[in-house]
Structure 1
Amino acid sequence: MDAQLLYFSWVDYLVLVGLLCISIAVGIYYGCFGTKQNTTEQYLHGGKKMKPIPIALSLTASHVSGITLLGIPAEVYLFGTQYMVFPITVVWITITILCVFLPVYYKLQLSSSFEYLKMRFGHGTRSLASCLYILSTILYVPIVIYVPALALNQVTGISVHVISPLICAVCIFYTTLGGLKAVVISDTIQFSITFLTMATIFVIGTYLSGGFVSIWEKAESRNRIEFFNMNLDPTVRETFWAIVIGMGVTFIGNLGINPSSIQRFLSLPTYRDAQMSVVIFGVGTIITKLVSSFIGLIMFARYIDCDPLSNGSIKSIDQLLPFYMLDALGNLKGFPGLFVASVLCTALSTMSTSINTLALTIYEDFLKSKLPKNTSQNTINIVIKSIVVATGIIGLMFIFLIEKLGGVLQIGLSFHGLTLGPLVGLNVLGALVGGICSLVLTGVLVVGAQIYTLQGRMKPVPKSLSTSGCSFLNDTFVRTTTAIPEVDFNTPPGIFTLSHYFYSVVGMMLVIVIGLFVSWLTKSKDEPAVHRELLSPCIYRFLSKDEKHSDFVLYETVEKALIRVQSVKEEKSITEVLGNDIKS
């Protein structure tokens, strides 16, 4: 490979800088010239005047991080097409969110999804969930930023220590200045660029590899085609159950419970708009994931007999897609810049979403009740924007720690498994003791597995890779080099070999099992009945006759409250307007 392809041309730099300037311009417009973000409602929820398509694209962009963009093609390249059954996962997740979660959150119009936990289960459960989310996000954002920083370092030679602060500075600037509107519009633009890049790689890569049939035949010849591995062994890395159930629980936590998703749903003016945004998000996610997966097969077709990881052209599997872009498509002027810009897009969208929602969570769950009632709106705005800046800076500081840990993809999945499982369990059962026990036990599982991985005692074994077609390698190298790691027979305890796809399932089940046991031990006869409106409509049919009053009483009350808040232009939350109608 020509060494000059490793560096940007002036056209590539123009494309990259242009993207950053667009993001800054969006923040300046909404912060200074567009619709003013004078109230907390406008800053955090866009004044409830957002549109379904931008919200759906913003959600999709936030969930297509740099880890996803680089990780899924590499996963399919190494382990085959089992991941491509993910559309089944998305379908049942979408139905679950539409039927179980969205009706409750939109009906109550809560500023934070964790406020529901306080109303349903008490203050302790809400505080635990909020702390889990804050910790998870602060630790996850640096990984999201570090991955594209590595890609940019590879094609520019600029130090990661310079690139990372620049990315964070741009993101903090437009998020702080423009609020939710800036985040959503920037996400929409950035996702459009990302998808354009992926589509370009898909089309041109398919053509260069001889077409779809040729790509499929090459993958099939090396045992890469697999969709229904029904093995029930949870230690197998990828099975049908791991993708459909394991990833499903993770995505329920990411979309159905994550405050950033609920914040966007509540920024829409009507419930129908919120439903539409969920459906569009599902379709967009399916298309994005399938395109990413097929790019993995395209790369395998090109390197079927000359694996870049085995021959030393790349040091990490994370570098495979950037390497392919430079190797196969680098002669397209400006395309390397567009590719790296798309990776940066995913990082910017994920970070902006995260720090904007962190500001909402910290303010609503920890600071709002402690501020004097006569606190001015300007002071509240300063507090919220200060939180955005502070959380962004903390994330930047952790980047310098992440680079010393190694294995960013595995660390990212571990963080999700550590927190999302307990969060899903808390929302299903609300068991405080179960949540704490789940966090501790899942933490032992995740941290232990990570330690064994770093020690080399646990390594994933990919499907066959070959260097027999590498003309620049001598026979000795070909015979002795392999991408399959040596297995240390001093294997760790079996529980730590559990597939990382099941971490969230384990966390959720621990909350439910331990919570039910503790509830049975501590059950009291005089426990108050749960208000019907705090339950999902899909279980109304199972309630007693005394509880079966109109499904839409509180719905109509919330609609009227929204009109009252907007008509008097007061900064009040829905719970303040409704008072005891909700909290009784």
Structure 2
Amino acid sequence: MIYVNISQSGVQKYLALPTFREWIWAMVFYVITMDIVYIFCILLGLLFYAHYANCDPIITEKIQRHEQLLPYYTMEIAGHIPGVIGFTLVGLFCATMSTTSSSLNAISGVVYKDFLSQYWKGNIKEKTSGRILRLIVVISGIFSMFLILVLQYLGDILPLAVSAKSMAYGPTLGVFCLGLLFPKANAKGAFYGAVSSFIFQTFVFVVSKVYRYKKIIVDVPKTFSFYSTQQRYFTFRI
């Protein structure tokens, strides 16, 4: 995974460890725990598919987006048990907040180290640096919150997140491979290459979203079915 190997958010966690041995153990624990998480996610998806095979909640308009499926399933299965829905939502928010906080810290470190510190004259006190880093985190967090107003019109979150990560991780992986395979490459060439790659991938992403909005590109859905209240069998395409 690019997040583990070369992303700022992942690498800074390894650099915070005191020894290389602890870094190895951190990698081992990460791989094992993430494999377990992925297995549970796959089993949960199969459980959703089996449970809603004959009554798709999106077709019946019980939910509007795929992201609502897990809370709705929890409410339907265990909604009568006090605290279950609350614990489910808390778990989702905690997982989101942990990832978001590390990403915001990584953004803050990159902006400060690679940009602000290059143009800051004189020595910067550690206390001042800490305040600047916190300010960058706050600004980035506010900007991320306002992105919600746009994301709600761009479809499901998972495909959108994969596309957005590709725009960022693609140039990062390219620069990493460039430095690894071509030692004679310089910083200026790597920078302009990464910027060009990011612009091109952003253009492809924006155009694809515009075409999907105008129905020029239409995803071919799978066929789902459900039983109506009169127990008549219907087949739909979603």
Question: CA separation of 1:449/1:331 partners in 2, compared to 1, >3 Å: closer, same or farther?
Answer: same
Give SS of 2:118's match. helix
Give the Å deviation of 1:404: 3.8
| Secondary structure in structure 2 of the residue aligned to 1:307 | coil
Identity %: 28
Tell me, in whole angstroms, the C-alpha distance in 2 between the residues paired with 1:326 and 1:473. Answer: 24
Q: Distance in 2 between matches of 1:377 and 1:419?
A: 30
- How far does residue 310 in structure 1 lie from its aligned partner after superposition? 1.9
Aligned residue among 142, 155, 160 for 1:411 = 160
2:148 corresponds, among 394, 399, 416, to: 399
Q: Could you tell me how far 1:474 is from its partner in structure 2? A: 6.2
Q: Deviations over 1:274-296 (max 9, x none)?
A: 11111111111111011011111
Q: Secondary structure at the match of 1:309?
A: coil
Name the residue aligned to 2:86: 337
Q: 2:120 aligns with which of 371, 376, 398?
A: 371
In the alignment, what sits opposite 1:439?
198
C-alpha distance in 1, partners of 2:128/2:195?
35
Q: Equivalent of 2:131, from 382, 391, 398?
A: 382
Q: Against the structure 1 CA distance between its residues 345 and 421, is the aligned structure 2 distance closer, same or farther, given a 3 Å change threshold? A: same
Corresponding residue of 2:46: 297
Q: CA contact under 8 A between 2:107 and 2:137: conserved in structure 1? A: yes
2:115 is the alignment partner of 1:362: no
Distance 2:201 2:123 in 1: 43
Q: Which has the larger radius of gyration?
A: 1
Structure 2 spans left out of the alignment, 5+ residues: 180-188
Change over 3 Å in CA distance of 1:446–1:375 after alignment to 2: closer
- Distance, in Å, in 2 between the alignment partners of 1:400 and 1:314 is 20
Residue 336 of structure 1 aligns to which amino acid in structure 2?
A: I
Q: Higher RCO, 1 or 2 (CA under 8 Å, sep at least 6)? A: 1
Which residue does 1:315 correspond to in 2? 64
Structure 2: which amino acid aligns with 1:456? K
Q: Distance in 2 between matches of 1:462 and 1:473?
A: 26
Higher deviation after alignment, 348-357 or 310-319: 310-319
In structure 2, relative to structure 1, the CA distance for the partners of 1:473 and 1:350 (3 Å cut) is farther
Report the residue type matching 1:445 in the other structure.
V
Given candidates 276, 279, 289, the residue that maps to 2:25 is 276
CA displacement at 1:354 relative to structure 2: 1.2
Distance in 1 of aligned mates of 2:213 and 2:224? 23
Give the Cα–Cα distance (whole angstroms) in 1 for the partners of residues 154 and 224 of structure 2.
Answer: 27
Measured in 2, the distance between the counterparts of 1:439 and 1:374 equals 33
Per-residue CA shift, 1:67-102, capped at 9, x if unaligned?
xxxxxxxxxxxxxxxxxxxxxxxxxxxxxxxxxxxx
Give CA deviations for 1:289-326 in whole Å, capped at 9, x if unaligned: 11011111112222222221222222222222111111
Cα distance in 1 for partners of 2:106, 2:199 equals: 25
Aligned-pair CA distance for 1:399? 2.1
Aligned pairs for 1:486-501 within 5 A: none
How much does 1:456 deviate? 2.8
Query: How high is the TM-score relative to the length of structure 2?
Result: 0.86
Higher strand residue share: 2
Q: Distance in 1 between matches of 2:46 and 2:199?
A: 39
> What are the superposed Cα offsets for residues 405-430 of structure 1, whole Å, 9 maximum, x if unpaired?
44333322221122211110011115
CA distance 1:395–1:352, shift in 2 (3 Å): same
Secondary structure at the counterpart of residue 467 of structure 1: strand
Answer yes or no: is 1:466 the counterpart of 2:217: no
Number of residue equivalences: 228
CA distance in 1, matches of 2:57, 2:74: 13
- Structure 1 match to 2:182: none
Contact 2:175-2:194 at 8 Å conserved across structures: yes
Letter aligned with residue 305 of structure 1? N
Provide the residue aligned with 2:183 in structure 1.
none
CA distance in 2, matches of 1:342, 1:320: 15
Q: Aligned residue for 2:6?
A: 257
Structure 1: unaligned runs, 5 residues or longer? 1-250, 486-584
Structure 1 residues 249-297: Cα deviation after superposition (integer angstroms, max 9, x where no partner): xx32x22111111111011110010111111111111110110111111
Q: Distance in 2 between matches of 1:265 and 1:325?
A: 36
Distance 1:452 1:428 in 2: 32
Normalised by the size of structure 1, how large is the TM-score? 0.37
Secondary structure, aligned partner of 2:131? helix
